[in-house]
Chain A
Amino acid sequence: MTALLVLIVIAIFQGAFLLMLVVFIGVRRQVERQRRQGFLSARQAISEPLSAWLSGSGEIESVVVALRALPAAAVVGFALHLARTTLPLDARDALAASLRQEPWVRRTISRASSRFWTRRLDAARCLALAGTPDDSALLETLLNDPVPGVAVAAADALPRVADARLVAVVLDRMVSLPTVMRLYLQGILRELRTIVEPLLLARLSTRAAPRALAHWVELAGALELPAVFDVVAQLAVHQSVQVRVAVARALRRSPRQQSVDVLKMMLHDADPTVRATTAHALGELASPTVLPDLLGAARDVDWRVRYRATLALSQLGEAGRTALRTLRTDSDRYVADMAMLISGLSDGALLEMVEA
Chain B
Amino acid sequence: MIGSPMLLAFFHRFLWWADHGVLFYFLALNSFYAMLLILSIPELWRHWRLADDEHLSRLITSEALPALSLLVPAYNEEVTITASVLSFLTLEYPKFEVILINDGSKDGTMDVLLSEFDLYEVPPAYPRVLGSQRVRAVYRSRRHSRLIVLDKENGGKADSLNAGINAARHEYVVAVDADTLIEPDALLRLARPFVLGTSVAAVGGTLRVANGCVVKMGRVVDARVAPVWLSGCQVVEYLRAFLFGRLGWNTIGGSLIISGAFGLFRREYLLAIGGYKTGNVTEDMDLVVRLQRYLYENNIKAEMPFIPDPVAWTEVPPQIHVLARQRERWHRGLIGTMITHRDLLFNRKYGAMGMVAIPYFFFGEMLAPLIELFGYVITVLALALGAVDLRFALLLLVCAIGYGSLLTVWAIVLEDLSFRRYRRRGDLARLLLFAFIEGLGFRQLTVWFRLQAFWKYLRGSDSWGVMTRQGFGAPK
Q: Which residues of A contact B (CB under 8 A)?
A: 3-4, 7-8, 10-11, 14-15, 17-18, 21-22, 24-25, 28-29, 77, 80-81, 84, 118, 121, 124-125, 128, 148-149, 152-153, 155-156, 177-184, 186-187, 303, 307, 337-338, 340-341, 344-346, 348-353, 355-356
User: Is the pair B65, A178 in contact by a Cβ cutoff of 8 Å?
Assistant: no
The residue from A22, A184, A340, A349 contacting B432, defined by CB atoms under 8 A apart: A22
Q: What are 28 contact pairs spanning A and B, CB under 8 A? A: A3-B392, A7-B396, A10-B399, A14-B399, A14-B406, A18-B406, A25-B416, A28-B416, A77-B52, A77-B54, A121-B53, A128-B55, A148-B196, A149-B53, A149-B56, A152-B195, A153-B55, A153-B56, A155-B55, A156-B55, A180-B66, A186-B64, A187-B62, A344-B120, A346-B120, A346-B140, A348-B144, A349-B141
B191 — which chain A residues lie within 8 A by C-beta? 180
Least CB distance, A184 to chain B, in whole angstroms: 4
Q: Given A18-B409, A183-B63, A344-B120, 11 more contacts at CB 8 Å?
A: A25-B413, A118-B49, A125-B53, A148-B195, A149-B50, A152-B55, A179-B64, A345-B122, A346-B142, A349-B141, A353-B169
CA distance A253 to B389 in the complex (A): 82
CB of B410 closer than 8 Å to a CB of A: yes
The residue from B52, B64, B416 contacting A180, defined by CB atoms under 8 A apart: B64
How many residues on chain B are close to A (CB under 8 Å)?
Answer: 57
CA distance A249 to B163 in the complex (A): 30
Which partner residue on chain B sits nearest A154 by CB separation? Answer: B55
A8 — which chain B residues lie within 8 A by C-beta? 395
B170 — which chain A residues lie within 8 A by C-beta? 356
User: Is the pair B197, A177 in contact by a Cβ cutoff of 8 Å?
Assistant: yes
User: Is the pair A341, B195 in contact by a Cβ cutoff of 8 Å?
Assistant: no
User: Is the pair A7, B195 in contact by a Cβ cutoff of 8 Å?
Assistant: no
**If the complex has contacts A18-B405, A180-B194, A352-B145, are A153 and B416 also in contact, measured as CB distance less than 8 A?**
no
The residue from A183, A348, A349 contacting B64, defined by CB atoms under 8 A apart: A183
Q: Which residues of B contact A (CB under 8 A)?
A: 49-50, 52-56, 58-59, 62-67, 95, 97, 120-123, 125, 127, 140-142, 144-146, 169-170, 191, 194-199, 389, 391-392, 395-396, 398-399, 402-403, 405-406, 409-410, 412-413, 416-417, 428, 432
The residue from B196, B392, B409 contacting A21, defined by CB atoms under 8 A apart: B409
User: Is the pair B391, A4 in contact by a Cβ cutoff of 8 Å?
Assistant: yes
CA distance A28 to B153 in the complex (A): 54
CA distance A28 to B170 in the complex (A): 44
User: Is the pair B395, A21 in contact by a Cβ cutoff of 8 Å?
Assistant: no
Which partner residue on chain A sits nearest B147 by CB separation? Answer: A349
Ranked nearest first, the 6 interchain pairs of A and B with the lowest CB-CB distance are A348-B145, A183-B64, A349-B145, A148-B196, A14-B402, A153-B55
A77 — which chain B residues lie within 8 A by C-beta? 52-54
A350 — which chain B residues lie within 8 A by C-beta? 145
A349 — which chain B residues lie within 8 A by C-beta? 140-141, 145
User: Is the pair B140, A11 in contact by a Cβ cutoff of 8 Å?
Assistant: no
CA distance A345 to B199 in the complex (A): 35
CA distance A44 to B122 in the complex (A): 55
Which partner residue on chain A sits nearest B95 by CB separation? Answer: A356
User: Is the pair B412, A25 in contact by a Cβ cutoff of 8 Å?
Assistant: yes
A187 — which chain B residues lie within 8 A by C-beta? 62-64
The residue from B58, B125, B198, B395 contacting A307, defined by CB atoms under 8 A apart: B125
CA distance A352 to B58 in the complex (A): 23
CA distance A350 to B123 in the complex (A): 15
Least CB distance, A336 to chain B, in whole angstroms: 9
A353 — which chain B residues lie within 8 A by C-beta? 169
The residue from B63, B97, B399, B410 contacting A11, defined by CB atoms under 8 A apart: B399
User: Is the pair B122, A80 in contact by a Cβ cutoff of 8 Å?
Assistant: no
Which partner residue on chain B sits nearest A10 by CB separation? Answer: B399
Least CB distance, B298 to chain A, in whole angstroms: 19
Least CB distance, A70 to chain B, in whole angstroms: 15
CA distance A2 to B125 in the complex (A): 75
B144 — which chain A residues lie within 8 A by C-beta? 348
Which partner residue on chain A sits nearest B148 by CB separation? Answer: A349
**If the complex has contacts A3-B392, A178-B199, are A17 and B416 also in contact, measured as CB distance less than 8 A?**
no
A3 — which chain B residues lie within 8 A by C-beta? 392
User: Is the pair B55, A179 in contact by a Cβ cutoff of 8 Å?
Assistant: no
CA distance A183 to B392 in the complex (A): 64
B403 — which chain A residues lie within 8 A by C-beta? 14
User: Is the pair B197, A148 in contact by a Cβ cutoff of 8 Å?
Assistant: yes
CA distance A113 to B139 in the complex (A): 56
B410 — which chain A residues lie within 8 A by C-beta? 21
**If the complex has contacts A11-B395, A148-B197, A346-B142, are A180 and B65 also in contact, measured as CB distance less than 8 A?**
yes
Which partner residue on chain B sits nearest A181 by CB separation? Answer: B197
User: Is the pair B402, A153 in contact by a Cβ cutoff of 8 Å?
Assistant: no
User: Is the pair A11, B54 in contact by a Cβ cutoff of 8 Å?
Assistant: no
CA distance A71 to B458 in the complex (A): 62
Least CB distance, B219 to chain A, in whole angstroms: 23
